[in-house]
């Protein structure tokens, strides 16, 4: 297991925060289990980035980040702290994943080959 991108470490830490935040901030109800489940997904994608480095896990992280941003309103979180934690964590997950995509050589090569050579 080798760390190729520091952003995966950041995502891992955000995932751990999401798993622990319901207990640290005193969430109740569905927001506890939703936050833990989404946090475990972030951890899973971050660990995948360590074990099987590929740009594909970043797309998964972006989707999980979008879910974290949207879920407080789609489910109706009652706690302001749960809403803020979910939205801020979601935005950070999206930013880290997008940043990693822009610095990943495999993705850059694929993007360049796919979009810049398709006219030939």
| Cα 4 from chain centre | 17
Mean pLDDT, range 107-115, rounded to an integer: 54
Q: String of b and e for 69-99 (b: at least 16 CB within 10 Å)?
A: bebbeeeebebeebbebbbebbebbbebbee
Distance CA 120, CA 53 (A): 30
Distance CA 117, CA 120 (A): 6
**8 Å CB contact between 102 and 70:** no
pLDDT digits (tens, 9 = 90+) for 6-59: 788 999 999 999 999 999 998 888 999 999 999 999 999 999 887 877 767 888
pLDDT surpassing 70 at residue 108:
no
Show the tokens assigned to 98.
Answer: 């997008």
Residue-range domain boundaries for the chain: 6-112
Q: Which of 50-54, 94-98, 110-114 has the lowest mean pLDDT?
A: 110-114
Q: Record the pTM.
A: 0.82
pLDDT digits (tens, 9 = 90+) for 61-88: 999 999 999 999 999 898 899 999 999 9
**8 Å CB contact between 27 and 82:** yes
């Amino acid at each position: 297991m080798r760390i190729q991108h520091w952003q995966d470490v950041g995502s891992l830490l955000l995932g751990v925060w999401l798993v622990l935040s319901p207990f640290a901030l005193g969430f109740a109800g569905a927001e506890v289990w939703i936050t833990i489940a989404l946090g475990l997904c972030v951890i899973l994608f971050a660990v995948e980035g360590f074990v099987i480095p590929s740009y594909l896990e970043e797309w998964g992280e972006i989707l999980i980040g979008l879910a974290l941003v949207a879920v407080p309103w789609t489910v109706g979180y009652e706690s302001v702290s749960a809403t803020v934690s979910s939205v801020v964590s979601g935005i950070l997950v999206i930013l880290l994943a997008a940043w990693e995509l822009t610095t990943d050589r495999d993705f850059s090569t694929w993007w360049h080959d796919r979009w810049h050579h398709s006219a030939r």
